Amino acid sequence: MVAQYNDGILHVVTTPTRSSHVVSATDEVADAVLRASRALVAVAARSLATVAEDVTLAQYRVLIELAAGGPQRLADLANALAVDRSTATRMCDRLVRKRLVTRRRGSEDRRVVRVSLTPAGLALVADVSRRRRAEIRRIVRRIPASSRPLVVSALQAFAEAAGEVPGQDWSLGWGIEHD
């Protein structure tokens, strides 16, 4: 590693080693995934921007989990979202006030709370998913046709490495009414 001070700026230059080439290739992939991730988060944010109910991305994740898995115990929902139960409770409180989810106590065990989508919640998920899918299709059309199979392959490999399974399309918000 060499540090140079030039024009008031400290420049650090590393000399490549054999192992840094492997790290470099991994870093290149990580950088590409991060760029794509930023683009997809922007698509998700834009698809939610027009929602009159003022739903946040975190709240939308709750709606997607409920759309994918149907009515769930609050504890299971919190687990699926990888958040504390108190966080899931607060998110559901807000969504109940917006009339997008309902909560019901279990008939056999009153301690159990089950959360489910309302028809308005399901309609919101469908609307946002249609918008997201339409924007992604516009982006995909700008990718040269010859490169699209490579994109599909790379994204499938990434999703598999991340633990996603093909049946989880709903959790990404694309599983509704394909055009």
pLDDT tens, position by position, 19-62: 555 568 888 889 999 999 999 989 988 888 877 668 888 899 99
Token pair listed for 83: 């958040």
Residue 170: predicted pLDDT:
46
> What are the backbone dihedrals phi and psi of residue 150, each rounded to the nearest 5 degrees, phi first?
-65, -40
Average pLDDT of the segment spanning 95-100: 95
Residue 25: predicted pLDDT:
81
Burial class for 159, CB neighbours closer than 10 Å (0-12, 13-18, 19+): middle
Average pLDDT of the segment spanning 152-178: 68
Average pLDDT of the segment spanning 157-163: 89
- Kindly state the percentage of the chain with pLDDT values over 90: 55
Average pLDDT of the segment spanning 91-111: 88
| Residue 120 predicted with pLDDT over 60 | yes
Residue 2: predicted pLDDT:
52
| Residue 71 predicted with pLDDT over 60 | yes
Instruction: Tell me the average pLDDT of the chain.
Output: 82
Query: What number does CATH give the domain 10-172?
Result: 1.10.10.10
Greatest mean pLDDT among 8-12, 13-17, 47-51: 47-51
| Residue 103 predicted with pLDDT over 60 | yes
| Residue 156 predicted with pLDDT over 80 | yes
User: How many Cα atoms are found within 13 Å in the side-chain-facing hemisphere of 175?
Assistant: 13
